[in-house]
Amino acid sequence: MPQGVAARFLADPTVRRGTGFGSSPGLRVRSKTFAMLQGSELVVKLSKQRVDELVASGTGARFDPRHDGRLMKEWATIPVRHRSDWDQLASEALRFVGSAVPSPKRR
């Protein structure tokens, strides 16, 4: 995670450093990853509708974690050429993931 982006979010006591898929450096809220760095791209978890908007605008693409064509509906990759949008999109992802109601634990 780029230092500037990470530092802003780590000031929030609910946000922790972690890893995303595999060993990608990422940020978590309530143990759920909301943003991570995959190579030189930011990957964020957003609603399917928001990911669709980012894809349609050319700002992002659907995330393919295994590089096998199985695209994730609620994850978008944002290339470095759109780095100026990273902070805002990571904020959206934090709100999206942070507002999700945790599922009840199974016994």
- Distance, C-alpha 39 to centroid of its chain: 14
Q: In a 3-state reduction of DSSP, which class is residue 42? A: strand
- Distance, C-alpha 52 to centroid of its chain: 15
User: Hey, what are 98's tokens?
Assistant: 């942070």
Query: According to the model, what pLDDT value does residue 105 have?
Result: 59
Q: Which helix (H) or strand (E) is 75 found in, with range? A: strand 72-78
CB 24 within 8 A of CB 18: no
Work out the average pLDDT over 41-64.
97
Query: According to the model, what pLDDT value does residue 8 have?
Result: 87
User: pLDDT for 61-81, tens place per residue?
Assistant: 999 988 898 999 999 999 999
Q: Where are the alpha helices (DSSP H) in 2-104?
A: 3-10, 48-57, 86-98
Closest of 42, 34, 39 to residue 78, by C-alpha? 42
| pTM of the model as a whole | 0.88
The fold of 3-98 is Yope Regulator; Chain: A, (3.30.1460)
